[in-house]
Amino acid sequence: MPADPNLLKAARILLGLSQDDLANAVGISRKSLARVEAGGVDSTLGTVEAIKVALELRGVTFLGGSESFGPGLRVPADLASGWEAERARLALERGRSKTENEEP
C-alpha cells in the first residue's frame, strides 16, 4: 500500500529526523524528499516506497485505514515514552517559571 505523503512527513518528524537525514538514508536528494512530502505528483512509487521502508526500519508501523478510521502510524514505545518524560519536564518548568513570576 503506498504511503500517504502526510504520514511519511509525520513519521520523519516524530522520529526527530531532518529531511537531510532521511534523504541521505534513502539515497535521494533533500529536494526529492520535500517533493514527496508535499504530495508531488512527479514522485515515483519506488521513491515513496524507499522512504516508507527507511522509516519502518527505524520502528515506524504504518496502519491502513478502516471503516471508522483513516490511515495512521505507530512509533516504537521507547520513543513515545521519551515524549511523556519530555512533556512532564516541560510542564514542571512551566510551573516553576509561573510561580517565579507571580508577585508575593
> Which pLDDT tens digits describe the chain residue by residue (104 residues)?
568 899 999 999 999 899 999 999 999 999 999 999 998 777 788 899 999 999 999 999 999 888 898 889 998 888 777 777 778 888 888 887 666 665 55
Domain range enclosing 20: 5-75
Residue 95 lies in a domain: no
Residue 29 lies in a domain: yes
Residue 91 lies in a domain: no
What pLDDT, on a 0 to 100 scale, did the predictor assign at position 10? 93
Number of domains in the chain: 1
Task: Give the C-alpha separation, 61 to 55, whole Å.
Answer: 8
pTM: 0.75
Residue found by looking up cell 515513496 in the block: 48
Residue found by looking up cell 532521511 in the block: 22
> Measured at the alpha carbon of residue 85, what is the angle toward residues 64 and 62, in degrees to the nearest 5?
10
Task: Give the C-alpha separation, 54 to 48, whole Å.
Answer: 10
Residue 9 lies in a domain: yes
Which DSSP letter does residue 3 get?
P
Residue 90 lies in a domain: no
What pLDDT, on a 0 to 100 scale, did the predictor assign at position 11? 93
What CATH number does residue 17 fall under? 1.10.260.40
What pLDDT, on a 0 to 100 scale, did the predictor assign at position 76? 85
β-bridge partners, 74: 61
Residue 96 lies in a domain: no
